[in-house]
Structure 1
Amino acid sequence: MKLSTYFTLLTSVALFACGGNKTDQQQGPPPPTPVSVAKATKGNATYYDEFPATVTALLEVEIQPQVAGNITGIFFQDGQHVSKGQKLYSIDPQQYRASYDQAVANLNVQKANLNRAQKDADRYNTLAQQDAVAKQLVDNANATLESAKMQVEAAQAAIRQVGTNLKYTTIFAPMDGTIGISQVRLGAAVAPGSTPLNTISSDNPIAADVQIDESQIQRFLKLQSQPNVTRDSTFVLLLPSGQPYPFPGSVRIVDRAVDPQTGTLRVRIAFPNPNRQLKPGLNVNVRVKNSTGEPQLLIPYQAVTEQMSEYFVFVVGDSSKVSQKKVTLGARINDKVVVKNGLTEGESVVTEGTQKIREGAKVKINE
């Protein structure tokens, strides 16, 4: 190879190498990653927990016949509101009235016997004071008097029994409420212990039963002890249509024991029901307000990433660089979440673009 050719080739290699270094120098660091951010701010941490519930009557009574007989009268409309003491059913009273009349007649006979025995005893006791009669006759007269007294008492007890049976032939409403569809019709034979004639449920107020887990017990006991809890709509009932019921509720009963099989406790929440809109058995939902009463630190929930059951956010710091911080979360409120620890008010957290960045990355905040 000629010297001139070798020199030319060497020069070309050198120029190529220099050109490559110049290209690398022009590439430089990658551009900042565009992200969206939001500031951690303090706000109202009021939210609602929602529980499935079943509407139930606070009081329910089955109407049972106390005597046997045939139904001779029904004095209400099925499903209507009835008042305490209102006449509902009548059972054929003829046999019970006859028994009552017989018992009254028997009492009159026993009273006549008592009157005669009293006179005999008085006469014999007067003669005994004069030693004009045998002692045995006096004793017999006194024994007959005592027997007559007991016969009168027995007759009076019989009258009370048959009188009670006669009274039971007319059945009255034991309470105010809504009566159901009658289970018997006119002429039907009924007897004690048979199928109930009907059921009356109290309808105003009415209740919704919810099942809570053990961790919620103290919360509901506290709500039960607050006398004015209905004024701030702590309990809101959602109808099957999803519409909120217009009247707020209050805790009426917290059940006595936790169900060992489910680990839940029943809580009964009472609601006014002036229009009888709520019916027992209706499936609804109950929203329970949950508020700390103090402003809480809030961030958008979409800023949170989860890793091994721990929660993190990317915080934009100086020089537009991000750092990952571990946070402790509280309740989720719509699209936001309460941050208990890990952030301070005013810090900016990345809400969009978290999948494109890592610790120390430089970002560009979208306007």
Structure 2
Amino acid sequence: MKPYTLLVGLVLLSACGGKKDEQKQQAPPPTPVTAVKVTKGNATYYDAFPATVTALLDVEIQPQVAGNITGIFFQDGQRVKKGQKLYTIDAQQYKAGVDQAIANLNVQKANLNRAQKDADRYNTLAKQDAIARQVVDNATATLESAQMQVQAAQANIRAVSTNLKYTTIYAPLDGTIGISQVRLGAAVAPGSPPLNTVSADNPIAVDIQVDESGVARFVTLQNKKNAAQDSTFTLMMADGTRYKYPGTLRIIDRAVDPQTGTLRVRIAFPNPDRLLKVGQNGNLRVKASTNAPQLMIPYQAVTEQMSEYFVFVVGDSSKVTQKKVVLGQRINANVVVKSGLNEGEVVVTEGTQKIKEGGRVKATIK
């Protein structure tokens, strides 16, 4: 081999070796990321439902007789007690009707007394064959008619007395009465609009609409003893404050609304301070729990691709691997992982946009 040929070969080998060293020196450094270990935690969370305050019981005050309003015995919006007088309707014609009915009863009783005497006398004569049988039969029929007339007169007294009683309207329950829809002198009659409404307000309730897929959950809560004596049901007011009393599940409606696919559920709340008013809006928070520790990770660690969810897991040699996960309930900043991860694995939470499959990272574990 010629000397210059050997020299060229050595130069080429030296150049190749230098390029390999340069490539090693230019390898990208690990990407700094933040990561956490997958742990199990208490998966308690709250579902929120739009809620409307409603009365557990309210009664419309309807007139049962016709007449003019002669008295109003309450202040609009005040608390009323069951049996408290609320309205009076002009009773003069009904009092006159009662007096007339009593007078008619007295007349019918007098007729009955006379018919009874005639029947007794004719029956005595009939035993002596001293009178025609037809006369006796007529007397008996007259007696029976008089008895029926007395019964009819007594029934008429009950009817007109009932009408007289209806001229005074009393509160049907303890609660709060609304703004009167009539004033003194107004003419009212059966079938006319309600005079007012009395609503029970302690306890009071909120109504929510539950999707049919969630009905079983509320049925289970209803069947549990003491299920709602804690904070299972809490009410968030429209201003964002939390109502201080917890609620109890009172009613689940009988059927799902076919138009909306939802079922109405009613939750009762103590209302001693009358802070809750019918018609108010808020949000009902319903506490739920998986009843067992669950794998949870920060939700920010999750990336979504074509409706599937993935996380980057830091493995051996600080290389990351993308894993598909199945998520459960989101709980504040965390999310339950149903499958795809194991306890103790390390997942990237910050810096996922800077890494890719197989890349090396320098993880700061929080």
Q: TM-score, normalised by structure 2?
A: 0.94
Deviation at 1:14, TM superposition (A): 9.0
1:26 matches 2:26? no
Moved more, 313-322 or 100-109: 313-322
Deviation at 1:366, TM superposition (A): 3.0
The CA deviation string for residues 265-292 of structure 1, in whole angstroms up to 9 with x for no partner, is 1111111111111111111100000101
- Aligned counterpart, 1:50: 48
- Aligned counterpart, 2:259: 261
Identity %: 73
Deviation at 1:355, TM superposition (A): 1.4
Deviation at 1:230, TM superposition (A): 2.3
- Aligned counterpart, 2:194: 196
- Aligned counterpart, 1:245: 243
1:183 matches 2:181? yes
Moved more, 357-366 or 178-187: 357-366
Give distance in 2, aligned partners of 1:53 and 1:253.
Answer: 14
Gaps of 5+ in 2: none
User: Aligned to 1:317, which of 315, 319, 324?
Assistant: 315
Give distance in 2, aligned partners of 1:14 and 1:81.
Answer: 108
Query: What secondary structure sits across from 1:345 in the alignment?
Result: coil
* Alignment-mate amino acid for residue 91 of structure 1: I
- 1:1-367 correspondence runs (5 A): 22-23=18-19, 25-28=21-24, 29-366=27-364
Deviation at 1:351, TM superposition (A): 0.6
Give distance in 2, aligned partners of 1:123 and 1:241.
Answer: 88
Give distance in 2, aligned partners of 1:131 and 1:25.
Answer: 153
Deviation at 1:16, TM superposition (A): 9.4
The CA deviation string for residues 171-203 of structure 1, in whole angstroms up to 9 with x for no partner, is 011112111000011111111111110011111
Query: What secondary structure sits across from 2:285 in the alignment?
Result: strand
Aligned length: 358
- Aligned counterpart, 1:4: none
Give distance in 1, aligned partners of 2:289 and 2:316.
Answer: 35
Confirm or deny: 8 A CA contact 2:228 2:249 kept in the other structure. no
Query: What secondary structure sits across from 1:231 in the alignment?
Result: coil
* Alignment-mate amino acid for residue 66 of structure 2: A
Query: What secondary structure sits across from 1:366 in the alignment?
Result: strand
Give distance in 1, aligned partners of 2:217 and 2:264.
Answer: 13
Query: What secondary structure sits across from 1:237 in the alignment?
Result: strand
Give distance in 1, aligned partners of 2:256 and 2:97.
Answer: 52
The CA deviation string for residues 301-359 of structure 1, in whole angstroms up to 9 with x for no partner, is 11111111111111111111111111111111111111111111111100111111112
* Alignment-mate amino acid for residue 347 of structure 1: E
Deviation at 1:146, TM superposition (A): 0.8
Query: What secondary structure sits across from 2:48 in the alignment?
Result: strand
* Alignment-mate amino acid for residue 53 of structure 1: A
Query: Cα RMSD (Å) of the superposition?
Result: 1.8
* Alignment-mate amino acid for residue 352 of structure 2: T
Give distance in 2, aligned partners of 1:143 and 1:366.
Answer: 111
Give distance in 1, aligned partners of 2:75 and 2:218.
Answer: 40
Confirm or deny: 8 A CA contact 2:229 2:248 kept in the other structure. no
Query: What secondary structure sits across from 1:104 in the alignment?
Result: helix
Deviation at 1:47, TM superposition (A): 0.6
Confirm or deny: 8 A CA contact 2:246 2:269 kept in the other structure. yes
Give distance in 2, aligned partners of 1:59 and 1:185.
Answer: 25
* Alignment-mate amino acid for residue 207 of structure 2: D
Give distance in 1, aligned partners of 2:230 and 2:184.
Answer: 50
Deviation at 1:17, TM superposition (A): 9.3
Give distance in 1, aligned partners of 2:156 and 2:351.
Answer: 92
* Alignment-mate amino acid for residue 160 of structure 2: V
Query: What secondary structure sits across from 1:107 in the alignment?
Result: helix
Give distance in 2, aligned partners of 1:14 and 1:281.
Answer: 94
Give distance in 1, aligned partners of 2:258 and 2:144.
Answer: 62
Q: TM-score, normalised by structure 1?
A: 0.94
* Alignment-mate amino acid for residue 80 of structure 2: V
Query: What secondary structure sits across from 2:18 in the alignment?
Result: helix
Deviation at 1:259, TM superposition (A): 1.7
Query: What secondary structure sits across from 1:260 in the alignment?
Result: coil
Query: What secondary structure sits across from 2:202 in the alignment?
Result: coil
Deviation at 1:42, TM superposition (A): 0.9
Deviation at 1:35, TM superposition (A): 0.7
Give distance in 2, aligned partners of 1:229 and 1:205.
Answer: 18
Deviation at 1:113, TM superposition (A): 0.8
